[in-house]
Structure 1
Amino acid sequence: MSNRNIFDEEFLNELRDRIKENDSPTFQQEERKRIISFDRIPKKLLPEIKYWKQLGFYLYNIDGDAVFYQAILPEGWYMQENGNSLRGIDIFDEKARIRGRIYYKASDFNPEAYAWLNPRYKLCEHFDYNKCMEEIYFGNKQEVLFFAGAIPKYNSVPEKIRPAIKEAKKLLIKAVNKYAEKHYPYWEDVMAYWGCFTSSREKLGKEIYFGNEQEVVFSAGAVNYEGRAPYVSEKELEAAADQLKKAVDVFAEEYLNLENGQSFQENDYMKRSRIYKG
């Protein structure tokens, strides 16, 4: 074997080890901390840089660095690691509201980073792992302005129930969109509505399920609690509730061999509803 081949093999082994090290959670976490401690902001920005400057960011080029700016953040703003993402960094304002986010895939060879500003409010589809429900609402990670409802994960329900669950989700999303268009028409503007007071409304709805007071055999999901829904979205919410009731009926008929309205175990199990709190 030639010296050249020996060198190539050693070099490639070293390169593979370095690439493997770059992909490790420890390396990614250390690099995130470094970016935060040195106030670095990626050069790939959404929206364009002028909007960041309007908020008070000062961004300076760094010699030899094609990925990051050296930044001076607006007064009171700070960055913090996102606990749910190995490569995420949240950008907070002086009121501890999440104003933006950085994605950073650290690498010695081909680092990738970009940052974006969040709109104050948007359609949110958040999966609650404790309840095993996907919650659909208008707001953000910290605020809920309008809770439309919740549905079980599509692939987790029996196949014959899925069409009703899918249709209910479409209706809940439509309810949120109608609410947004009516009350927050400029919600997509990342500069809009940040002067509004902070909202912390709870996710309150009516859960529709099959079971009894002690046991839930099957939960079809929940819809905004009666009396709290905005008028503009009432039609969609009522239709979504009908789909969830249909899902419960299909569950009873297809998977428990029950006719609509029939129950078992001394009439203890039936289609019921209860308060849902997210």
Structure 2
Amino acid sequence: MINGTSLSTALSLTDASCWLNRHRMVSRLAPILLNLFLASTFACVVKLSNISLSAEQYSGAWFRIAHLGPLVDYLPVNATAALLKLTPNGENLDMVEYYESNGTCYGPIFGSWLKQVNGYVKRVNIGGSIFEMAVRAIFHDYSGDDNEEMNMVLYGCRIVERNGECKEGERMASLLSNSRHPQTLALFKSAKHLEDNICIDILQLKTLNTYSSCGDETVDEDQKLINAQIDSEGELIESECKVLNFPKTNISKFFGSSTVISEITLSACGVL
């Protein structure tokens, strides 16, 4: 007897109490474990690819379709258009860039891309101050009937941590095309690569207008604004190429996977 309670009864009460405590503990842990499982299952892992491009493949005038800059960036957050021109100089690249802000065109901004083992180090002289960033192309693709259109995704990091990861807020990502009116499918591929491999939601990028005359004097004749606005039948294209958002657009039919680019469709820029 234990305080008037039989040993068997006491053991039964103890077992019941232990079972109840275990049940409560499992009930509390279940959602936590589930969240951890889901996080580990669906967490995006950065897969920084190293595609081998020649300097000639970077060469030419590129219209920035969308851009995410680091905390310190030579392109202002209120930029509405940007044109980047790259010219091979040996294994390096000479850079000229223009941007538009509040209806005013700024530039040229001069810089250089110095060849590294993986990508380049971009150096830009801004009023005597040097802006420096590691940059590389992580996606490059051709489209159009004669592969005349090139699309590229640039990724960069201004400050790299000791563990090799980019410091929070110091990443750069840009979707670029040599066409003012890039095809929709090409933009889908660029956005998908950015989300799947660099873990940057496309909605973090600010969309830019490709139908700006800023920097027009530096582009090829067929890229000039007046010519880019004329279609194959000689008619004026009135709609601008802009990035539009649509909720939960499933693009699996294009890529044979269940990937959903969160709340994005890059449209009004071509025909599927």
Q: When the two structures are superposed, what TM-score results if normalisation uses the length of structure 1?
A: 0.23
Greater relative contact order (CA < 8 Å, ≥ 6 in sequence)? 2
Which is helix-richer, 1 or 2?
1
Q: When the two structures are superposed, what TM-score results if normalisation uses the length of structure 2?
A: 0.23
